[in-house]
Amino acid sequence: MSFAGKHIIVGVTGSIAAYKSALLVRELVKRGAEVRVVMTPAACEFITPLTLATLSGSDVVIDMFPADRSKGTWHIHLGVWADLMIVAPASANTIAKLAHGFADNALTSLALAIRCPMVIAPAMDTDMYLHTATKDNLDILRRREVDIIQPESGELASGLTGPGRLPETHVLMHAIERHFRAGDNDLRGMAVLVTAGPTQEPIDPVRYIGNRSSGKMGFAIAEAAALRGAAVTLVSGPVALPTPEGVTRIDVESAREMHDAVMKYYDVQNICILAAAVADFTVSTPAEQKIKKHSLGSGGMQLALDRTPDILAGLGERKGDMLLVGFALETENEQENALRKLKEKNADMMVLNNPRVEGAAFGSDTNVATLLFADGEHEELERMSKAQLADIIIDRALIALRKR
């Protein structure tokens, strides 16, 4: 996406990750944005203003009180000028000040003067990030609709390991892109149905057969589609995720319930994306009461299982003009198996991933996928955030739909 004509403020605070702001500024300028950088005094300990001034092609704002006294209202002008402000990295100290409305330096003053959306990318040591004070401050900002980019987990400058790392530039870029995309509305007038999460097949009232799906991929797709203007129905198995804004969510537990919900809503959809990890088998006769082990004697126990309905195949049989996207989770002969599923289930596109590949594990915020298309084409994608992958899946689905 080109950022030509977009006015973006990059705020930089005192964090060891401040050097990465240079990469962000360079990328934004490369994509055509006009960039102004504002730094806290602490940020200047980590990266020189000259670097960021050179890359942005503009003076960097650091002083609240510029030498030229006629420019005393700079923050108001810049606040009106900006289409988006991103603070990356955002230190614990600056997050606290933003949460409580302090205006004691150029960055925090500007943050109060902007009229545009704000994105922040916290980066700090794990203990500071996990501290209740920081969590509370981030909650305050979230309630104010500040877009908070989750820090990545990994080894930190201190040698400790945990969440707190500033994500790679492409993740920051994607978060920015999403804000501009929301105005794009390229899915306006379309209905999109997404399935997400695991299913749970009851054994008795307290136990079930389930799987490790977190639902993050499906939720990211639902969120991306809603941001791009679609009317989104999200049929979700049991997950611990908040409903993305503007999305109609239907909660289900078992494969049968998911099947019935999808069949109720499918015929008005333009695109169906089935990201759920649906159980292939369900317990034939779940016990009505909790199974007591003494009732089973001293030996083991056998469960009789029945096949569940295949939702993707069911939609494939009656898809009409709808574009159908499935997921394939494979650990061996990946492409061959996924292609077979695509054909057998009459899908238009399959998103193939292998949970054993680094960056594609269950519950991870990133994924490594290959897209397979009904015409035999395939596209191997690098490791990226699930939010980014969600937009690419939608982009490709739209292209396939327009080709018809």
Smallest separation, CB 361 to ligand CTP (Å): 16
Nearer to ligand CTP, 93 or 254 (CB): 254
Nearer to ligand CTP, 138 or 312 (CB): 312
Nearer to ligand CTP, 36 or 216 (CB): 216
Smallest separation, CB 331 to ligand CTP (Å): 9
User: Which three-class secondary structure string do you get for 35-93?
Assistant: EEEEECHHHHHCCCHHHHHHHHCCCCECCCCCCCHHHCCHHHHHHHHCCEEEEEEECHH
Q: How many CB atoms lie within 10 A of CB 188?
A: 10
Residue nearest to ligand CTP (CB): 311
Q: Could you give phi then psi for residue 32, rounded to 5 degrees? A: 100, 0
Between the CA of residue 204 and those of 297, 334, 372, what are the distances in Å? 18, 35, 39
Between the CA of residue 358 and those of 93, 353, 392, what are the distances in Å? 33, 11, 20
Secondary structure class of 396 (helix, strand, coil): helix
Question: Which one of 211, 337, 346, 354 is the catalytic residue?
Answer: 211
Question: Which residues of this chain interact with ligand CTP, rule CB under 6 A?
Answer: 195, 255, 274, 276, 278, 280, 308, 310-312, 326-329, 341
Between the CA of residue 376 and those of 2, 23, 164, 184, 316, what are the distances in Å? 30, 37, 41, 30, 17
First-to-last C-alpha distance (Å) of the chain = 24
Smallest separation, CB 298 to ligand CTP (Å): 34
Nearer to ligand CTP, 17 or 225 (CB): 225
CA separation for the pair 361, 91 (Å, rounded): 29
Smallest separation, CB 182 to ligand CTP (Å): 27
Nearer to ligand CTP, 330 or 391 (CB): 330
Q: Could you give phi then psi for residue 46, rounded to 5 degrees? A: -105, -30
Nearer to ligand CTP, 198 or 229 (CB): 198
Smallest separation, CB 241 to ligand CTP (Å): 17
Q: How many CB atoms lie within 10 A of CB 81?
A: 14
Element of type H or E holding 258: helix 255-265
Please confirm, yes or no, whether 211 is among the known catalytic residues.
yes
Smallest separation, CB 278 to ligand CTP (Å): 4
- Nearest-5° angle of CA 355, CA 356, CA 361? 45
What positions carry a catalytic annotation?
211
